[in-house]
Amino acid sequence: MKKIQLAGALSLALILAACGDGASTNETAPEQPKEAGHADEGVITLSVEQIAAAGVQVAVPLIGGAGTIELPATIDGDPQATQVVSAAIAGRVVALNRNLGESVSRGQTLAVIESREAAQLKGEVEAARARLALANSNRAREQRLFSQRVSPEQDLIAARTAATEARIALTQAQSQVSATGGGGGGLNRLGIVAPLSGQVIARPVVLGQTVAADAELFRVANLSKVSLTLSLKPEDAGRVRPGAPVTVTAAGRSAIGQISFVSPALDPQTKLVPAIASLDNGGGVWRVGEAVTASVQLAGGGDGPASVRVPLTAVQTVEGKTVVFARTATGFRVTPVQLGDPAGDTVLVRSGLSGRERIATTGSFTLKAELGKGEASHED
């Protein structure tokens, strides 16, 4: 009987010992590490090394202002200070007094044209001048005879009328010569003068060339101020106002101009909105035809000075919601945002960010893919 009781007690002790060992094993077993994206919903757990390996870059949003857009632009002469100098009559170029890049003053003779038409026009001026001299002499004679009561008053009136008509004819002939350039020396030559002070930026003719009427001889521009030709997207054009600052940059140079004109119509070829900016060029730093980069300041559109902007590369769509990925101590957290108008490579954030967060600006698509892996593992 004692042997049976001892055997039963030994069996019970072995069973309790086995149970005790199992509980001890469960308490001391190390916890398996969580995989990336397997934490709470919307949270991606990544180490610093994993973030760097994925090529994810982090930065804070842009605060204040409405952003800028960068556009390619071309330096042009100021439309209000550039003029084509042409020949009003056909003829042969016998003198070119200014070369490319040289300065000219208003009224200075740039070229001389030799032409039959010039001889005819100048001949008409001389004939009109002779007729006026004769008419003035007759008027003076009739005035003297009328005062001596020799000639009737109607002869004096006729002489005065003839003198007036001769003076008008001379003025008209001189105007025709002036319209073609005037001056030039000989009877068959006309001088082509500069219409404004500036620099010669084009001279498409050579000495001895025969040119047609209205052919371009020179192009003169006052380059103390230049302009930029821009092409805006329609969605950006509505936020570019005349007077908006424009930062112009090229190799080793930078200057600030301003928008002077935004077209109310689209270009029929490019479907973009033409715009013009003006830029001071007193030092002659900028050259006509030069390609530059223009950074245009956009109007705020009522968003206020504390507006928040993020790069377009930071924005993703998750489950139908627009989100960005905010950096946390252990990785990233999905943050839904409400977006406003885009501006170049950035977009306005109307709600969802305070501007103090650090967000993924590059590699956000990788984070979206990692989030999808985490959700799939949750479903498994």
Domain boundaries, the chain: 43-65+304-379, 68-78+223-297, 82-115+188-221, 117-183
Q: In this model, does residue 179 exceed pLDDT 80?
A: no
**Mean predicted confidence (pLDDT) in 342-364:** 85
Q: For residue 292, what pLDDT is reported?
A: 92
3-state secondary structure of 183: coil
CA 370 to chain centre: 40
Whether domain 43-65+304-379 has CATH 3.30.160.20: the reply is no
Lowest mean pLDDT among 16-20, 93-97, 110-114, 261-265: 16-20
Cβ proximity of 117 and 213 under 8 Å? no
**Mean predicted confidence (pLDDT) in 296-305:** 61
Whether domain 68-78+223-297 has CATH 3.20.20.70: the reply is no
In 3D space, the residue among 251, 323, 321 whose CA is nearest the CA of residue 292 turns out to be 251
Q: For residue 268, what pLDDT is reported?
A: 92
**Mean pLDDT taken over the chain:** 81
In 3D space, the residue among 231, 226, 229, 246 whose CA is nearest the CA of residue 288 turns out to be 226
**Mean predicted confidence (pLDDT) in 309-326:** 92
> What b/e readout covers 16-42, taking b as 16+ CB neighbours within 10 angstroms?
eeeeeeeeeeeeeeeeeeeebbebeeb
Q: In this model, does residue 375 exceed pLDDT 70?
A: no
Q: Which CATH class is domain 117-183?
A: mainly alpha
Q: In this model, does residue 37 exceed pLDDT 50?
A: no
DSSP E strands: which ranges in 145-242?
A: 189-193, 198-202, 210-211, 215-221, 225-232
pTM, 2 dp = 0.49
Token duo for residue 141: 């004679």
Q: For residue 377, what pLDDT is reported?
A: 57
Q: In this model, does residue 319 exceed pLDDT 60?
A: yes
Q: Can you tell me the distance from the alpha carbon of 167 to that of 135, in angstroms, rounded to the nearest whole number?
A: 9
**How many Cβ atoms are within 10 Å of 106's Cβ, its own excluded?**
12
Q: For residue 276, what pLDDT is reported?
A: 92
Q: Which CATH class is domain 82-115+188-221?
A: mainly beta
The CA distances from residue 148 to 59, 142, 158, 275, 334, in Å, are 105, 10, 17, 75, 113
Q: For residue 123, what pLDDT is reported?
A: 84
The CA distances from residue 71 to 18, 261, 296, 341, 345, in Å, are 78, 16, 8, 18, 11
Q: For residue 316, what pLDDT is reported?
A: 95
Q: In this model, does residue 29 exceed pLDDT 70?
A: no
Q: For residue 282, what pLDDT is reported?
A: 78
Q: Higher-confidence residue: 3 or 292?
A: 292
**Mean predicted confidence (pLDDT) in 188-216:** 89
Per-residue pLDDT tens digits for 60-95: 887 765 567 888 899 988 878 889 998 888 889 999
3-state secondary structure of 234: helix
Q: Can you tell me the distance from the alpha carbon of 246 to that of 297, in angstroms, rounded to the nearest whole number?
A: 6
Angle value at C-alpha 34, between 49 and 359, nearest 5 degrees: 50
Q: For residue 182, what pLDDT is reported?
A: 62
**Mean predicted confidence (pLDDT) in 240-261:** 87
Q: Quote the DSSP letter at residue 339.
A: E
Q: In this model, does residue 34 exceed pLDDT 50?
A: no
- Which residue type sits at 166? A
Q: For residue 298, what pLDDT is reported?
A: 77
> Can you state the angle between helices 153-180 and 116-147, rounded to 10 degrees?
160
**Mean predicted confidence (pLDDT) in 179-183:** 67
Which pLDDT band, with edges at 50, 70 and 90, does 19 fall under? very low
